[in-house]
Structure 1
């Protein structure tokens, strides 16, 4: 029941977005408009406040290493190999990797950690790793895909934090944390209100995108194409919900983590795909169909896989 209570708001918000779109309360462009709001305003505010309140000196090195290694392996394998097997073009492969290995550490990770682990301290470190290591790599690749010649330009990479509000918000938060700078009360209250919209609006946008024509703007697929898409989605879900936590378990055992640390790493690695994946896919106009289906399916199935992980590890 505790896990169900953690997942229920997620399902309800996505369902509300789907229902609002289906009954005409939200227009055809609702999902991209809401997605842009989350990407450019709400998410950067939330990430800045999270990072600025995260003391870098108290990080759990070995558990974080196990989580990071499992994430890098799954994202890399999915991006460089598995996406090729399904014929994904190069521009969509970063989204494939992100769908398979980028965990929902915020809106779902926090309630799950509270219910299963009794603490959310490790989630702040996961947020740090994903937004300062994984996110820039993904966004640089997507930025390169948007270049007409497909080139990596050092000037564009150097200016990416200034052009990308997600990286900018995270980087500024780290600066505030390292230098222990105060956030003025008025600014904190304003950013908190804005950041609080990131999760619910992102989920409503996700639900709205699941109604109607495929997000990529393509016609409904033929039966064989639909079967291929289903196999692809099954591969994503298997990598995300089974492969990543299993790999985290193996690495954690190799690093001789304590039982509590092992449970923490496995549960965090087994969280479903973050809705940020869909937001990024929508912002760059690549892989939206896979991203929104991946978020929806892994969120639905992770209730069972997380419960199994907690039971097997004795919690």
Structure 2
């Protein structure tokens, strides 16, 4: 598979979603319903299956530290910059930061890692870091802002894994992997069918969200913010990963893996989270499309230079 072919299905399904919304095929609430289906059902099934089948041993500490440092730097700057530079409200800052630093490690990361790196061993560690550390932090912040008074309550935090299907599915998947448990064949087949809908449904919902009949504040703010988000995602994050990797004296293959994974575009999960909590939908949907399009060039350049 060529690098270009990994991107083509994403572009096609996004265009299909846009066209379906433009022609009225999904109805007025089509994108919202698809988004909730992904968040509540398909994405949890996909996360559970992926994590339950993923070994929890053999971590490469230094490369993962370099990737984590790049993620923390970009997400932290994005969180701060969303407020200082663009006046984003507290409830919008987590999703803005996620758009800048949460990589598409699944449906796009896997074919790219296979093509450029030759295997997905390090990418699996990136998936665990994002799902078990970054996503819960983002969801906790979003959940806090959904509280009427925006307070952090111990009971509300403790109940978040039960109330949030993404976190619950992730924890159950890790528990099954750690215990070596395997689902009955009927349950595994059912979840496999459901998880298979996660990526195409999310991309169709993403494309549908790009068709707006009336511009909102979020739409008007998007162009300037998109430049910053794109630069953070495709230039700053892999740049920080490269600098930290050099400081840690990573060998060339590990350095390449860290930079390529850090340079992956914004995950469509960012849009799904934003849609679920009703914040930053327009800017996140455009960030996913733009970073995915431009990353074809930036990833190819990074791979050529570091090889």
TM-score tier, shorter chain, comes to: over 0.9
Does residue 195 (structure 1) correspond to residue 195 (structure 2)? The answer is yes
Alignment of 1:290 with 2:290, yes or no, is no
Is residue 2:232 matched to residue 1:229? Answer: no
Aligned length: 307
Shift of the alpha carbon at 1:84?
A: 2.4
Q: Is the 8 A contact 1:100 1:236 kept in 2?
A: yes
Give 1:169's aligned residue: 169
Counterpart of 2:260? 267
2:144 maps to which residue? 144
C-alpha RMSD of the superposition: 1.4
Q: Distance in 2 between matches of 1:200 and 1:118?
A: 25
User: What TM-score, normalized to structure 1?
Assistant: 0.94
Secondary structure of residue in 2 paired with 1:24? coil
Say if 2:218 and 2:283, in contact at 8 Å, map to a contact too. Answer: no
Q: Which of 236, 242, 267 matches 2:235?
A: 242
Structure 2 residue runs without a partner (length 5+): none
Task: Give the TM-score normalised by structure 2.
Answer: 0.97
Greater mean deviation of Cα atoms: 20-29 or 35-44: 20-29
In 2, are the aligned partners of 1:213 and 1:219 still within 8 Å (CA)? no
Q: Which residue of 2 aligns with 1:218?
A: 216
Instruction: Judge conservation of contact 2:218–2:282 (CA < 8 Å) in 1.
Output: no
Are positions 1:302 and 2:300 aligned together?
no
Distance 1:197 1:71 in 2: 28
| Contact in 2 for aligned 1:50/1:124 (Cα 8 Å) | no
Asked whether the equivalents of residues 64 and 125 of structure 1 are also in contact (C-alpha less than 8 Å), the reply is: yes
User: In the aligned structure 1, how far is the partner of 2:213 from the partner of 2:70?
Assistant: 35
User: Does the 8 A contact of 1:35 with 1:279 survive in 2?
Assistant: yes
Contact 2:82 2:88 in 1 (8 A): no
Q: Deviations over 1:15-40 (max 9, x none)?
A: 11111111121112111100000000
Q: What are the Cα deviations for residues 188-237 of structure 1, in whole angstroms up to 9, with x where unaligned? A: 111111111111110010001101236xx73796xxxx4x5312110000
